[in-house]
Amino acid sequence: ADLRCTINAIFFAIVQIAVAAKFQCMKQLTVGRHLTSPSTVVSSPRRLSLQSITVRKEQGGVLTLAAVMESTNSFAALCAVGDDETVATSGVSKVEKSTESSTSSQDGPEKQQRSGPRKLRNPLCWIDLEMTGLDIEKDTIIEVACIMTDGDLKIQVQGPEAAIHQDDSVLASMNDWCKEHHGKSGLTQRVRDSKRTMAEVEEELLGFISQHADENMAQLAGNSVHVDRMFLLKHMPRVVAYLNYRIVDVSSIKELARRWFPIAYKKAPRKTLAHTALSDIRESIEELKYYRTAVFKSPNQCK
């Protein structure tokens, strides 16, 4: 009888401890939901607490649990795979935005300036060139534009847009198509008036890309972008060396859609044919956005 009483006492003690622990965890979750504003997230990646992370008001997911358990590795891994939809927003992710605002309240302007902009997640480097022609041996670059995006195309950061000076003899050697279209867009005159050299523009372009992506992380993207890459390799080799060797060619996706998804292909946004570097990039981004939703279905859409 004494042994039975002892066992029962131990059992009830264990139950009480478990209930108390569960209640405490639920209490923390409730406090977190009510006290945490939508823009409040991790203030320090090394020290996590529930109050330092965005929590949806009606639920606490695995990401929340990682914060409650103060597991930095788990939290970082879940953020990396996009576990919580509240992490992403326009401009920069909420994690980045919150960290910046938290840092600004604690650190001086010198440290903020030193830290610089946040790196993009799965970055794409959209570059478009206007050239005097397509002959890599005799033609050259006369305009460059660049936009950096994240992998989901939700964040867009506009970079350099520059006309590169060329002598009149170079412009006179352009083929008829280039003379007509570059003359109509005003590019020919901008090239004449420009004081920028190829080396200066390469330096500016490389500096911009490195602000938003680490070396070998960003992939060159655009329409028929392999042609742009050939000219970059010849005239701006440092830019090519910094980028990943893979490219994202929207023209290839378009051709596959034409063969395999003809209805979606016919509804794709049409180009304005402005033939300026920046407008071409923006059209390419919009085109890829369309194919992402019309052709590349999410798992939920495939059910």
CA distances from 75 to 68, 91, 275 (A): 10, 22, 45
In contact, 148 and 213? CB cutoff 8 Å:
yes
In contact, 60 and 29? CB cutoff 8 Å:
yes
The single residue of 165, 182, 212, 275 carrying the catalytic annotation is: 275
CA distances from 258 to 25, 137, 238, 262, 266 (A): 54, 33, 35, 5, 8
Residue 182 falls in the annotated catalytic set = no
Q: 71: how many CB neighbours lie within 10 A of its CB?
A: 14
Name the burial class of residue 116, with classes exposed (0-12), middle (13-18) and buried (19+) by CB atoms within 10 angstroms of its CB. Answer: exposed
Q: 229: how many CB neighbours lie within 10 A of its CB?
A: 20
Distance separating alpha carbons of residues 32 and 101, to the nearest angstrom: 19
3-state secondary structure 10-57: HHHHHHHHHHHHHHHHHHHHHHHHHHCCCCCCCCCCCCCCHHHCCCCC
In contact, 143 and 164? CB cutoff 8 Å:
yes
Cα 278–Cα 282–Cα 283 angle in degrees, nearest 5: 115
- For tokens 């050259």, the residue is 140
- Residues linked to residue 295 through DSSP beta bridges, in sequence order: none
SS3 content of the chain, % helix, strand, coil (to 5): 55, 10, 35
Backbone angles phi, psi at 69, to 5 degrees: -80, 0
Task: Give catalytic residue positions.
Answer: 275
